[in-house]
Amino acid sequence: MLIDQEKCNGCGICVPYCPVGAISVSGKKASIDLDICAECGTCGRRYIVKCPTGAIYDDPNLFETERGISKYFSDPMTTHKVTKIPGRGTEEVKTNDVTGRVKRGEIGVALEMGRPCLGTTLAEVQKVTTALARIGIVWEHMSPLSHIMDDPANGTFPARRLGLRMISCIIEFTAPAERLEAILTEVRRVAKELDTVFSLDLITRYDPDGRIPVREDVEKLGFTVRPNAKINLGLGRPLSEV
């Protein structure tokens, strides 16, 4: 987003709405620090931020620049150009009732890096993707992250993109259930190197008798299992049965 310096009166109304503190007022003019802005679009939503002069506007050339990538990860009102999925470009492996990505005998993993008020950068994401690539993880194709890697086998991104900021980036993949220990061990190791927060989602299908197949294994590894964390109903789209 950008602020028209001719129109801005420096009232400061927009400042507290930015989730990462990228807007500041100086000399009676507001400006956006583009090194901090994650392109979430919040400040430009006129039904939320009542800018009295209409000074905040979308960069018309955003998607011709690298910054357009940030918008796909930060703005839920955007539809991803490759996956064609609105709302940050992924249906997310954690909504398995809808996507049906995780089959029996598999686990799905979603690492949700960065949250509002903190966010993350692609450099932080790369710490995780390179670590997981070393143990042979293959990335979810219908995820915006897969489309900006330059070397998926090594989990790397082009160097020019590493500074890009995003509100939240979801690293998604599925793997055979027997890889559980290797994956969680690597996640725990790399977590100590991260300069952001993340949530770890583990997705598995219930056994017919209601048991959660990998629960005991996860607990043996020292993780607290919270099976009530998020259960999405299929909303009439039972693709998991396909």
Hey, which residues does 127 pair with through a beta bridge?
none
Spatial distance between the Cα atoms of 97 and 230, rounded to a whole number of angstroms = 11
Nearer to ligand SF4 (CB atom), residue 34 or residue 123 = 34
How many amino acids of this chain bind ligand SF4 (CB under 6 A)? 29
Site string for ligand SF4, 168-207 (x = CB under 6 A): ----------------------------------------
End-to-end CA distance of the chain: 41
CA distance 125 to 146: 12
What is the nearest approach in angstroms of ligand SF4 to the Cβ of residue 226? 30
Min separation Cβ 45 and ligand SF4, Å: 9
Report the C-alpha gap between 156 and 93 in whole angstroms: 21
State the Cα–Cα distance between residues 115 and 27, nearest whole angstrom.
Answer: 31
Please name the residue that has the structure tokens 């890009």: 164
CA distance 212 to 225: 10
Nearer to ligand SF4, 56 or 190 (CB): 56
- The 10-49 contact track toward ligand SF4, x by CB under 6 A, reads xxxxx--xx-x-xx-x----x-x----xxxxxxx------
CA angle, 121 then 34 then 159, to 5°: 40
* Backbone Cα Rg of the chain: 20
Structure tokens at 10: 């420096």
Nearest approach in angstroms of CB 70 to ligand SF4 is 9
Stretch that binds ligand SF4, among 5-13, 93-101, 124-132, 215-223 (CB under 6 A): 5-13
Q: Decide: is 164 part of the binding site for ligand SF4 (CB under 6 A).
A: no
| CB closer to ligand SF4, 23 vs 175 | 23
Site string for ligand SF4, 44-73 (x = CB under 6 A): -------xxx-xx-----------------
Distance CA 71, CA 75 (A): 5
According to DSSP, the β-strands at 56-57 and 120-121 are unpaired
Closest to ligand SF4 by CB, 71 vs 80, is 71
Q: Decide whether 19 or 100 has the Cβ nearer to ligand SF4.
A: 19
Contact by Cβ (8 Å): 232, 239: no
Which CB sits closer to ligand SF4, 52 or 158? 52
Nearest Cα to Cα of residue 104 among 214, 216, 3: 214
**CB-nearer residue toward ligand SF4: 29 or 147:** 29
Among residue numbers 97 through 126, which ones bind ligand SF4 (CB under 6 A)?
none
Residues within the interface to ligand SF4 (CB under 6 A): 1, 3, 8-14, 17-18, 20, 22-23, 25, 30, 32, 37-43, 51-53, 55-56
